[in-house]
Every structure is written in C-alpha cells, then in structure tokens.
Amino acid sequence: MLAKAYLEFKISTRRTLKDIVLIAAGIFSASFGFKGFLLTNHFIDGGATGISLLISALSGIPLFVLLILINIPFILLAFRTIGKQFAVKTAFAICGLALCVATIHFPDVTNDNLLVAVFGGFFLGAGIGLSVRGGAVIDGTEVLAIYLSRKLRTTIGDIIIAINVLIFSAAAYLLSVEIAMYSMITYLAASKTLDFIVEGIEEYTGVTIISSHNEEIRKMIIEKMGRGVTVYSGKRGYGKNGETRNTDIIYTVITRLELNRLSTEIELIDTNAFMVMSSIKSTKGGMIKKRPLHE
C-alpha cells in the first residue's frame, strides 16, 4: 500500500510540475505575442483573445482587464462542461496571462505588418498550445464550441469558424478591412502553431497488415525497424461464397518518415500483403520512441 501511494504521489507530482512549466511557458509566449507584436498595430486574433483585443483597440480598456472579464463566462462554462480541475487550472492560467501582460514589458519587435501578423500569431498560438498541453486554456472559445456543439448537434470546428467569422466581420467594420485581413493571417498562423504544439512534431501512422507471411513481417518490424507490434487473431474472408480462414492480423504504429521503409520491407516479404494505414495524432509508451535495434 505504501509503495502504491508513493508511486501515485510521484506520478501526480511529476505531472503537476510538468503542467505548471507548460502553462507558464504558454503564458509568457502569448504575452510576447500580444505586447511584442499585436497590440501596437491593433491586430486581433480569433476567439476570446480576439474579442479582448478588439474591445481594447476600440475602447482603450487595458487588455489585461478584458482578458479576465471576457473569459469569466468561459471558465464557468468549463466548470460545468469539462470539470472542476480543468476550470481551476484555466482560471489560474488566464489570471497569469493577464498579470504577465500588465506587468512585463516587451519591446516592439517590428513595424512590418506582415511580420507582425505572422509572428504575433505564431507566439500567441504557441502560448495557447503549450497551455493546452498543460491541461488548461488561455482562450475559452473552444469550451464554448464544445458546449454549443452538444446543444446544436454540429461539429466543434463549425462553431469555431462561425465565431471567428463574426469577430473578423466586426473588425472589418469597426477598425478597417486591411486590419481585418491582417488579423485573419494572425489567426491562421496561431491556429497552425496551436495544432503543431498540441499534436506534436512527429505524426504517427497506424498500420494494419494482413498477410500469409505474418510471422516474418512481425519479426521484421521488431528486429529491423525496432518497433512494437500487436497481433490480433482474426478471419480472412475471400472468394465468391465468402469462405473464411483463421489468420493473424498485425498492427503497428510508426512515424510518417518510416512509412516508406515499412512498405518496402513488407513488399520484400509478401508482395500481396494487405495494408491499411490511418493517421494518429498522439501516442504514449510502447516502442514508438525507441531507436531501431540495427539496420
């Protein structure tokens, strides 16, 4: 019991420290995106941060105040929709962002509008992404999108697009069409960076292989490529009458850079092997991160 309790404490502490580091890095990155690029040029982003930037540009209300006020409804909604722990971490993350924006001075990096849009979006997206990796958000739009998607029976992506269309339309009317267009570039840069941070640098592919030479293929994947496999017992259906016979089905997960090599190695063993490939956003454990045992 003591050993189990110690292990749970160790894992919980390590996870908490990791989350704190990620959220702190996210806050700093987003603050740099705000004050080093977007604020001086009145560019905005999508979502709750975009609403805060738009109102700040129009009214002169400090951004750090708006970041808290605009996100309060989203925090309450997160408590109801996702859970207490997520809502508490999000509240601390947003308050940390507001404090950082209010107290830390960042120099204006450039006055070039295109560079401001691209790199402002990059640092803002990186900040949001790091916070998500830490188990919180500093932009509550996705919480609203999750809630509305359940009520309206539509996708989260559709809700986010609809919200941002309204924000950028308001920016075009209230600020200028040019600022709205640059702000759309900011949003695209932020969203792509967010995806990159959340989904990881490596993209994984799950490969299902059905072959009469399944044992040779299994050994090749383990010994030559240094990857793990899962073997399922299944049945093959073939012929006009749907005859079946037992077979082993091999499943492995590799990086996209290894896909060509895997296909080549399988073809050398069985040119008639049936392969099904599917994209995977993230993996944990197993032999994914290990180096090949030998070439």
Domain ranges of the chain: 2-199, 204-280
* Assigned CATH class of 204-280: alpha beta
Q: Write down the pLDDT at residue 146.
A: 75
Q: Write down the pLDDT at residue 156.
A: 63
Residues of the chain predicted below pLDDT 70 = 1, 155-157, 199-203, 237-244, 257, 281-295
Q: In what order do the strands lie in the sheet with 243-255?
A: 229-238, 243-255, 204-210, 274-280
Q: Write down the pLDDT at residue 285.
A: 61
Q: Write down the pLDDT at residue 241.
A: 60
Query: Would strands 274-280 and 229-238 be described as parallel, antiparallel, or unpaired?
Result: unpaired
Q: Write down the pLDDT at residue 291.
A: 45
Q: Write down the pLDDT at residue 118.
A: 92
Percent helix, strand and coil across the chain, each to the nearest 5: 65, 15, 25
Q: Which amino acid does the sequence have at 38?
A: L
Q: List, for residues 46-70, the tens digit of each pLDDT value.
A: 888 888 888 888 888 888 899 999 9
